[in-house]
């Protein structure tokens, strides 16, 4: 036996030496705990504790939202209702900046009916299924079949001769060649504008005292070589309780003059789907005459006062089973100065007013098929086929010549209100 070694259970370090080790266990654990607490407090003070946790606790992956039509997310304006169900109010508006700022949907809170969509459009989640720039939408044509497309640098359609490029048409203006996509294969008529499938270059939104606003700028240039000079287009919308103001500003930033026109192509939905009960008022008794065989204007205006196409009566005229496809001219100013078109839905005690606020808006193209639950009212600066020979001069058809550095402003107000007792009369 080696001197100094103690034998017994527990091995060579049992006995008195084991007693001394046990005496340091509790102080050691307390010291380690204090060190951990001090370190944690230090890291928390530096804002690092959440990083430590994130390395330990698995975090869910962030939700990645799919891009909207044209590769850009839809822009959604909204406001909280203030009348608590006692008055009609605008509560939301959705725009597609990837598709030329199409006014995709507008909703209103209507007492007794909840939130009502004012435009004919599919759910925004399925918009990309329709607006996919393929097939019949290769040139953005589908944008004019839903919501409310912005039409520039012309409104309505152009006629032209077949271009060397497949699917393209052309015409002349001031000694220059204009090119534009055909409506469909073999057609000599164009689509409605060149902004239909263009994506915005910048988007800005702001909060207003009683709503929200958004603006999108398109550096359209010469529209991919199809238009003279270079054009910047800005589309701005401001939504308040009863109004949605839509403004299009076009500026010629290039060295040459350029022809220009602006329009809007909204499909106003009939909430009940019974268009026979809707009332329509158009501030005009004059329409553009059309050669139905060629589907082109003749260059003449005709008086429709007292006929089935006369919707100028105060309070509106019941649509009944009357089909409409006409461009109304010689617009009559309203009480506040601007001509005012109205669509009234007595079953919903709701009236929509389309009010041009700039003088260059000289016509309203109105379409309301008998078998469709919608009414289209287009406030446009130019008439159909403005470069056609029937007008002698495009300016006679409302085309505006933008000199270098010049600006054109187009502004329209969509106003909602409740019907008065007299306004809901169907007689």
Average pLDDT over residues 138-165: 92
Please give the pLDDT value at position 233: 98
Please give the pLDDT value at position 59: 40
3-state helix, strand, coil in the chain (%, to 5): 15, 35, 45
The average confidence (pLDDT) of the chain is 85
Distances (CA, A) of 100 to 47, 215, 234: 44, 12, 10
- 90 pLDDT higher than 90: yes
Q: Which tokens go with 31?
A: 């010291």
Q: For residues 390 and 323, what is the distance between their CA atoms, to the nearest angstrom?
A: 26
- Residue 71's pLDDT band (boundaries 50, 70, 90)? very high
- 62 pLDDT higher than 50: no
Average pLDDT over residues 6-34: 41
Give the angle subtended at the CA of 48 by the CAs of 46 and 52, to the nearest 5°. Answer: 155
Instruction: Dump the DSSP string for 311-344.
Output: --STT-EE-TT--EEEEEESPPP-TTSS--EEEE
Cβ 376 vs Cβ 366: under 8 Å? yes
Which residue did the predictor score with more confidence, 408 or 86? 408
Please give the pLDDT value at position 32: 55
Which residue did the predictor score with more confidence, 183 or 198? 198
- Residue 229's pLDDT band (boundaries 50, 70, 90)? very high
Edge-to-edge order in the sheet of strand 286-291: 148-151, 263-269, 374-380, 363-368, 324-329, 286-291, 296-303
Average pLDDT over residues 6-31: 40
Share of the chain above pLDDT 70, in %: 82
pTM of the predicted structure, to 2 decimals: 0.82
Please give the pLDDT value at position 5: 38
- 146 pLDDT higher than 60: yes
Q: Which tokens go with 45?
A: 């003070």
pLDDT tens, position by position, 338-386: 899 999 999 999 999 999 999 999 999 999 999 999 999 999 999 999 9
Please give the pLDDT value at position 338: 86
pLDDT tens, position by position, 265-317: 999 999 999 999 899 999 999 999 999 888 899 999 999 999 999 999 999 99
Please give the pLDDT value at position 192: 94
Among candidate residues 223, 207, 163, 203, the one with its CA nearest the CA of residue 187: 163
Please give the pLDDT value at position 136: 86
Please give the pLDDT value at position 82: 84
Cβ 256 vs Cβ 235: under 8 Å? no
Among candidate residues 415, 378, 413, the one with its CA nearest the CA of residue 398: 378
Please give the pLDDT value at position 211: 83
């Amino acid at each position: 036996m080696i001197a100094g070694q103690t034998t017994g259970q527990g091995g060579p370090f049992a006995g008195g030496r084991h007693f001394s080790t046990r005496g340091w266990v509790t102080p050691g654990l307390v010291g380690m705990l204090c060190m951990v607490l001090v370190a944690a407090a230090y890291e928390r003070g530096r804002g690092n504790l959440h990083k430590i946790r994130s390395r330990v606790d698995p975090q869910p992956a962030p939700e990645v939202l799919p891009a909207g039509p044209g590769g850009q997310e839809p822009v959604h304006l909204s406001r909280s209702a203030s009348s608590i169900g006692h008055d009609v109010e605008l509560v939301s508006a959705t725009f597609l900046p990837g598709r030329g700022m199409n006014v995709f949907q507008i909703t209103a809170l209507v007492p007794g009916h909840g939130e009502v969509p004012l435009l004919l459009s599919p759910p925004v989640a399925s918009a990309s299924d329709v607006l996919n720039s393929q097939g019949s939408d290769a040139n953005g044509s589908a944008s004019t079949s839903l919501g409310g497309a912005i039409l520039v640098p012309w409104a309505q359609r152009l006629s032209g001769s077949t271009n060397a490029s497949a699917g393209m048409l052309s015409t002349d203006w001031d000694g220059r060649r204009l090119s534009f996509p055909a409506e469909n294969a073999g057609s000599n008529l164009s689509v409605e504008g060149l902004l239909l499938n263009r994506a915005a270059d910048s988007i800005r939104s702001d909060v207003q005292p009683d709503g929200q606003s958004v603006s999108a700028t398109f550096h359209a240039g010469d529209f991919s070589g199809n238009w003279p000079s270079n054009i910047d287009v800005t589309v701005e919308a401001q939504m308040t309780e009863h109004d949605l103001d839509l403004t299009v500003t076009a500026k010629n930033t290039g060295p040459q003059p350029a022809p220009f026109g602006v329009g809007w192509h909204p499909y106003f939905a009939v909430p009940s789907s019974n268009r026979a009960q809707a009332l329509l008022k158009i501030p005009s008794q004059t329409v553009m005459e059309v050669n139905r065989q060629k589907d082109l204007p003749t260059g003449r205006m005709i008086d429709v006062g007292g006929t089935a196409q006369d919707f100028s009566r105060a309070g509106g005229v019941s649509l009944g089973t009357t089909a409409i496809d006409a461009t109304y001219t010689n617009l009559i100013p309203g009480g506040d100065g601007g001509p005012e078109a109205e669509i009234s839905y007595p079953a919903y005690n709701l009236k929509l007013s389309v009010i041009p606020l700039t003088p260059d808006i000289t016509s309203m193209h109105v379409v309301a098929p008998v078998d469709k639950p919608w009414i289209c009212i287009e406030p446009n600066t130019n008439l159909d086929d403005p470069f056609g020979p029937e007008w002698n001069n495009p300016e006679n058809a409302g085309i505006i010549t933008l000199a270098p550095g010049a600006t054109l402003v187009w502004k329209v107000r969509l106003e909602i209100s409740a019907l008065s007792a007299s306004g809901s009369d169907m007689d």
